[in-house]
Chains A and B, each alone.
Chain A
Amino acid sequence: MGALNNIEALNQALDQMMEKDEKIVIYGEDAGFEGGVFRATKGLQAKYGKDRCFDSPLTEAAIIGTGIGMAINGMKPVLEIQFQGFLFPGLNQLLVHGARFRNRSRGRFTVPMVVRMPYGGGIRALEHHSESIEAILAHTPGLKVVIPSNPYDTKGLMISAIKDPDPVVFLEPKRIYRAFKQEVPEELYEVPIGKARILKEGNDITVVGWGAMIPEIQSAVKDLEEEGISVELIDLRTISPIDKEAIENSVKKTGRFLVVHEAVKSFGVGAELISIVNEKAFLHLECPPTRLTGYDITIPLAKGEGYFMINPEKIKSKVKELINY
């Protein structure tokens, strides 16, 4: 077992799966020779050759379109979209074709494809490199949407995503690509898609987050615990399908619910989770289920990004507001 950061864990998962399964191919802009702009696919072309790991042209629609074709014909494409903001030209392929094949062919074809991409803010980049569009993807039936928050889950979820028979969008919070390390088992293991993880048990309030929000929440929780507030922290890990049971059980125990995400507020995953809480645990609530999110604006450039992003102070303040409701 070695201590790896998120990008290393991802690289290890891709490497080990390519070694195991010859049908896996990896491609995307700069994904081959350069190993991706964040080096997620570093060394894979050298090890497995240009036929299995290669650079694609600057054409997201073709990356995803060809991936779908390969997948329904028996290959296992793992595609890289350089930044999530570049996904939009490929959305037609992904949402209109990739996500629907199983349904429209009445189960005859499935699309065992992974589309991975860095997403989220906090690195002082441009807006198309920084936004969070998990809600757009999760709103589409037929797509699975996964977001890891730590190296252990990154490796385990990627392995599960590759093995999954349906298209999985693997969103990588780039802000924490290299922000910390964690002991990660050497062997292949799976973290199940659709299962949240209770990172810390508590009694007073349930706080749910994912991706780069988790370290921010953990930092807030540490301070809140010192003030005597017992927080149950859940890392959602999979945005679609959502682990409703984990949310329901936790809120029934704590009576309070806060969802934290960096994506804009309206029509987001936070609203979906609050609906689940209202449907499943309404009578247990001691305060309104609440979301702490980014603002309803295009994510600001470097200078203003700090105002937009969620930080531990914002989380602490919101938790206290709900505890004292």
Chain B
Amino acid sequence: MFEFKFADIGEGIHQGKVIDCFFKIGDAVEEGDSLFLVETDKVNAEIPSPANGIITAINFEVNDIINVGDVVVVIDDNNSANLIETVIEEKKEEAEEEKGASVVGEVTVSNELIPSFSTKEKKEKIIRKKSLATPVARRMAKDLKIDINEVRGSGLNGRVMKDDIQNFHNLNNKTEEVKAEITKSIASESCDNIREEMSEVRKAIFKATSISKKEIPHTTLFDDIDLEKLVKLKEELSEETGIKLTYMPFIMKAVYLGIKKYPIFNSTIDGEEIVYKKQVNLGVAVDTDYGLVVPVLKDLSTLSIIEISEKLKDLGDRAKNKKLSMKDITGGTFTVSNFGKFARAGTPIIKHPEVAILGVGRINKQAVIVDSEIQIRSILPISLSVDHRIIDGADGGRFSEEIRSYLENPKLLLLS
């Protein structure tokens, strides 16, 4: 019998909702056949059978939530070994007893066999994520019954200091008071309220944004970029190629070139180390009927503007039709968020564990001063949020300037 446990199919997924099942008890399945369809954070994934055999149990119904580790399906694979615990007796080698030679003392003599070693040394380095904190802060946290791992540290490298514990304590106590008041007022007027459970996607956004805002000290830089030349170039290229281009491929190419110059924007933080990612994979936030999803455009190093445009369109279409795979939404190293027609600018939330995000707003015609003259230009507002733990405002400014240099001289984009 093969007990098929629902596994984490992506990065840190804990549960999913079954939205379809393709087999019933008694059906024969082959390894790789799709067993059921599960809606996870942002994609619908078909889960393949890990074994050949006959389905003998299905431990869920459509619309059930299943958790990672649950035995979801049992398959009779004609192998009883999985059910029988294999007992391997430790082989003890018989050897001739030897007397512990010595002029003094009593040396223990035994033929007990202890496990041997491999000659290969282990090289892996495992660092568990626990808060950095001064001992006095730990003591305070203990006295105040605070889980120190929940406190964001203001010290060097996120070190939790005494003041952080005190602030956390004060804030939480206030929150409790406020919560109590709010609960009371809602309870008294709640007869007409409508309650609705959040969708899986909303829950995922809920969780991801909370983690991001809790862990990452954001700082956001705003700027305006003159797109006058790009507007013209885009029109010319659209006309010449017959492909309807948007501004996004140009922006993404500019971001890619910015990252090449300032690779810290394509990194993650691991403990006290910065991990620079070799490949640039840009996530693009897409607004859909079912919520915000972020498909990822992988490896921009070889892509032209036209190719970026085609890939973006494909990802966008598939996002809207719920056809994205787990592969499409994972592996991002930097994200571009488009406020589009809805807002001029905003403060984008960094997609944890990335370290920066670029928000692009609505392009407006604005009166600007060029060479001491007032001119009407197409202006793109941008907002760059950075993880202030490793990126300072000035770094963000330099990165924005790099992006600006390409978008204001867009022919350079075609050459790069």
* Residues of B that sit less than 8 Å from A by CB: 93, 95, 98, 100-117, 119, 121-122, 125-128, 130, 132-135, 138, 159, 271
Contacts and interface: CB of A to CB of B under 8 A. Distances in A.
Provide the main secondary structure of the chain B interface. loop
B128 A254 contact: yes
B103 to A, nearest CB: 5
Interface of A: 1, 3, 5, 37-39, 83, 123-126, 129-130, 150, 152-153, 174-185, 189, 195, 197-198, 201, 203, 215, 249, 252-255, 282-286
B95 A3 contact: yes
Nearest to B138: A286
Given A179-B112, A253-B126, A285-B135, 17 more contacts: A3-B93, A3-B113, A123-B104, A124-B106, A125-B102, A129-B105, A174-B107, A175-B107, A178-B100, A178-B107, A180-B114, A185-B119, A189-B119, A249-B127, A252-B128, A283-B159, A284-B130
Given A129-B104, A197-B117, A178 B109 contact: yes
A19 to B, nearest CB: 21
B105 to A, nearest CB: 3
Contact of A126 (B98, B104, B134): B104
B114 A150 contact: yes
29 contacts: A3-B111, A38-B107, A83-B104, A123-B102, A125-B105, A130-B105, A150-B114, A152-B116, A174-B105, A177-B100, A178-B100, A178-B109, A179-B109, A179-B110, A181-B93, A181-B95, A182-B114, A182-B116, A183-B116, A184-B116, A185-B119, A201-B126, A252-B127, A253-B126, A282-B135, A283-B133, A284-B132, A285-B135, A286-B138
B107 A195 contact: no
A181 B108 contact: no
A39 B101 contact: yes
Contacts of A285: 135, 138
A38 B93 contact: no
Considering the complex of A and B, which 6 residue pairs feature the smallest CB-CB distances, nearest first? Answer: A125-B105, A123-B105, A183-B116, A283-B132, A180-B112, A125-B104
Contacts of A184: 116
A203 B107 CA distance: 35
B117 A152 contact: yes
Contacts of B134: 283
Given A3-B93, A175-B107, A286-B138, A37 B101 contact: yes
A15 B121 CA distance: 25
A124 B107 CA distance: 9
A249 B119 contact: no
A154 to B, nearest CB: 12
A180 B113 contact: yes
A159 B132 CA distance: 41
Given A181-B95, A283-B132, A283-B133, A195 B102 contact: no
A123 B119 contact: no
A123 to B, nearest CB: 3
Contacts of A286: 130, 138
Contact of B108 (A176, A195, A201, A252): A176
Nearest to A199: B117
Given A3-B95, A124-B105, A125-B104, A178 B128 contact: no
A255 B130 CA distance: 8
Nearest to A250: B126
A83 B112 CA distance: 26
Contacts of B126: 201, 249, 253
A153 B116 CA distance: 10
A253 B127 contact: yes
Contacts of A253: 126-128
A129 B95 CA distance: 29
A257 B106 CA distance: 33
A180 B95 CA distance: 11
A152 B121 CA distance: 13
